[in-house]
Chain A
Amino acid sequence: MIAPSSSVEPAEAGLASQMLEVSLGPQHPSTHGVFRMDVTLEGETVVKLKPVFGYLHRNHEKIAENFSYLASMPYTDRLDYFCSLTNNWAYALSVEKLTGLAAPERAEYIRVILAELTRLVNHSALAGFLLQDMGALGTPLMYAFRERESILDLFESLTGSRMMCNYMRFGGCRCDLPPGWLEQARGLVARFPSFLDEFEALITNNEIVRARTEGVGVLPAKLAVNAGVTGPMLRASGVNYDIRKVDRYGIYGRMSFRVPLGGRGDVFDRYMVRILEMRESLKILDQALRDIPGGPIMDPKAKLRNLRPKPGEAYGRIEAPKGELGFYLISDGGPNPYRYRVRPPSLINLTILEDMCLGHTVADAVVILGSVDIVLGEVDR
């Protein structure tokens, strides 16, 4: 019922118009953190966009070179602070590759359960924030956060902290599930689909949301692959690449789930792919919560202190909710890593922002940025 954005007319030829440079500055309610976009506007359309970040740089990689491997684990929580458990897992995975440790089965099941819960947390927060950027005054955001709170309560009762979980260890998990945790998790998984249905009723068929997001910020599949984009953004452009299926790390090989793919690669597709991914995560959670065995949760060979991996290098990656999160470690035999590098999915996905925003208006630029799903802790490290 409302015209799509392609009806924005370009400036008439021959009319001298000045280009306006606006800095959607670091302090801004819709840029998901301290992030700046220098946009050059002609009339209302964006002709150039330069993302400026680094306002949250905290020297994470350099700090890791001066401390032990274990000491970096709480710092990884703070990378993508919405999804601390998946950050922990990626780091634990790369150290396990470096040292040859392996987590026992129960620990792998716990890891998968927590990772999929984290995916639910992240995607529902993203849907809420996307609508918030569009001006929906926080109503979908509040609904999403209401559900997120029950998942965060689960995290608190297991790991001790709602967001900065610091739970995975090299060779397993820090502590075992407290009694009653599995029942609480099963109850949550049973309740979640009804929340998703309510949420979708509010948003998915809403004409205004459709008009604001359809055809906006199209990312062609070829460009996405060339730019190294990963995660739901890549799958929304139609490329079938999910590291859970490609690498089959952990016990994802045993789980049966599907990977939703979008058709057009615009903002609506990215939002919809995330909603569908949430439904698939619920399937994985059902299977994992049903099949989780008993047993130890740490590799008997693992030790907490004085971990000195043999000299070598390893790259461990997982399908984080935002994309491919990888840790590249080089060890020189000492207690501290020689080089510690994070492959942040938010940063790599952000490089393509200008191409997606050209030709759209400023209001669209904000919505497109929201659909890229960045967290500045990860972009800047």
Chain B
Amino acid sequence: MSGLLKAVLAIAGIMGVFGSCFALTTVIERKLLGRMQNRYGPNRVGPCGLLQPVADALKMLIKEDIVPHSADKLLHFLAPLLLTVPVWLSFAVLPFGRNLCAIDLDAGVLFFFAIGSATELAVFMAGWSSQNKYSLIGAMRAIAQMISYEVPLVLSTVPVIMLAGSLSLNAIVAAQGTATAGGLERWNAFTPWGLAGLLLFLIASTAETNRSPFDLPEGESEIIAGFLTEYSGFKYALFFLGEYLGMFALTALAVTLFLGGWHAPFAWLEWAPSWLWFAVKFASLIFVFIWVRATLPRLRLDQLLNFSWRFLVPLCLMNLIVAAAWCWTASWASPAAIPLRWLFCAALIALPGHGLAHVLRGQVPPPRQYHYAE
């Protein structure tokens, strides 16, 4: 019985917290985007506009649900569900605090990525069932993007798994908990391979969740909304929800794998509640996502795919070698060991990175000269 009670509490807790997180994020994102653009965000509904999600939800609920006549009704109905349900499931393995993991699977990371990949099928179902050639092309582009970025996403987590020695997320977090001499915890991001892995993971997850600057599927696909064209009302809201929850899940995974999960940065700060640390790190990564969205324009599809296959994937493979180098040099004992090791490992990844960028840019045109006529 207690197992059932635990399950119900976990489900209610996760859905409650992340559901309200979704609502809050939509309004905070709009307000932050507004502030970065020298304007207020929504500030009319409720204090400081914080009840805006209620207004949005009501609007989505009362909109007419239009299904195209020739659409495949069953697939059209199932696609938003197939997008949202696996994402909710992936929250089950994430440890949000010291004893706050819903299910402690031995293959947590594997489960997470396996379940997360089901969303790509939902995107294709949405595009196919709409019986609209523009939706189909938009959906195919979206899938090309998502599949291309799955590879660096998974590869960037491989060093973490190798060095923690386990696929279980609780074990990975525990491995980042033992403090070093200076009181600094052993977050993976405090190592060169961890830092590089975090950056690669964040870039790949921006692309996985179709966020700027990789939001081609929702932005310009044949100038209509891509695979979302034929969806209105609550189904559109579910797609929206699925996208944001995917972003939350990947952010939570980044925090778990690279930023020490629910650990504090310093050992003497461990008295604060563990879920509070998790929330702080989570919120800062979400802020980075919003910040990037406000600043960068969109990449074109071929540039996007090139970026993934010809830059990110080789760098992820190099990251494995860097992780190995870090472990191999762990035996150095001189006082300047840490900076030297950092320098060595950073060079191991920065130089190939620079070379790859050079190759990717192709023919570098000479720097532009603008001459003036009098």
Contact = CB atoms under 8 A, between A and B. Distances in A.
Interface of A: 1-8, 20, 22, 24-25, 28, 30, 44, 131, 134-139, 142-143, 146, 202, 206, 208-209, 211-212, 214-215, 240, 242, 245, 258-264, 268-269, 272-273, 276, 361-364, 366
Contacts of B374: 258-259
Interface string B348-368: 000000000100111101001
Contacts of B295: 136, 139, 202
Contacts of A273: 370
Interface string B293-334: 111111111110011001100000000000000000000000
A363 B33 CA distance: 24
A142 B40 CA distance: 12
A209 B300 CA distance: 11
Contact of B370 (A28, A209, A276): A276
12 contacts: A1-B361, A8-B302, A22-B134, A135-B220, A136-B296, A136-B297, A142-B37, A143-B37, A206-B297, A211-B303, A361-B300, A366-B220
3 closest residue pairs by CB, A with B? A135-B298, A258-B372, A142-B37
Interface residues of B, number: 43
Nearest to B219: A135
Contact of A137 (B223, B293, B310): B293
Nearest to B141: A44
Contacts of A5: 300, 302-303
A363 B219 CA distance: 10
Contacts of B299: 2, 208, 211-212
Contact of A269 (B212, B300, B368, B372): B368
A191 B295 CA distance: 23
Given A5-B303, A260-B370, A366-B220, 20 more contacts: A1-B311, A1-B361, A2-B306, A2-B307, A3-B310, A3-B360, A7-B362, A8-B302, A30-B223, A136-B296, A136-B297, A137-B293, A139-B36, A206-B296, A209-B297, A212-B298, A259-B374, A263-B371, A268-B368, A363-B216
B297 A135 contact: yes
For B133, B299, B306, the residue with the greatest tally of chain A CB atoms inside 10 Å of its CB is B299
B215 interface: yes
A366 B298 CA distance: 13
Nearest to A143: B38
A242 B374 CA distance: 10
B39 interface: yes
Given A135-B215, A208-B213, A262-B370, A7 B38 contact: no
B369 A22 contact: no
Given A22-B222, A137-B212, A259-B373, A264 B368 contact: yes
A24 to B, nearest CB: 5
Contacts of A269: 368
A363 B220 contact: yes
A214 B365 contact: yes
Given A1-B361, A3-B360, A44-B301, A24 B223 contact: yes
Given A137-B33, A206-B296, A142 B362 contact: no
Contacts of A214: 365
Contact of B37 (A135, A139, A215, A259): A139
A136 B220 CA distance: 12
A299 to B, nearest CB: 32
A263 B368 contact: yes
For B33, B294, B298, B307, which residue has the most chain A Cβ atoms within 10 angstroms? B298
Contacts of A263: 368-371
Contacts of A4: 361-363
Given A3-B303, A208-B213, A138 B37 contact: yes
B169 to A, nearest CB: 33
Interface in B169-223: 212-213, 215-216, 219-220, 222-223
A138 B219 CA distance: 13
Given A5-B302, A20-B133, A258 B373 contact: yes
B148 to A, nearest CB: 14
A202 B360 CA distance: 23
Contact of A261 (B33, B219, B373): B373
A212 B370 contact: no
Contacts of A240: 373
Nearest to A280: B372
A262 to B, nearest CB: 6
Contacts of B133: 20
A238 to B, nearest CB: 9
Residue from A3, A44, A138, A212 whose CB has the most chain B CB atoms within 10 Å: A3
Residue from A2, A136, A146, A272 with most neighbouring chain B CB atoms (10 Å):
A2
Interface string B241-277: 0000000000000000000000000000000000000
Contact of B357 (A1, A138, A202): A1
A351 to B, nearest CB: 22
Contacts of A211: 299-300, 303
Question: Which of A209, A276, A363 neighbours the largest number of chain B CB atoms within 10 Å of its CB?
Answer: A363
A230 to B, nearest CB: 15
B97 to A, nearest CB: 34
A293 to B, nearest CB: 26
B361 A3 contact: yes
Contacts of B362: 3-4, 6-7
Nearest to A202: B295
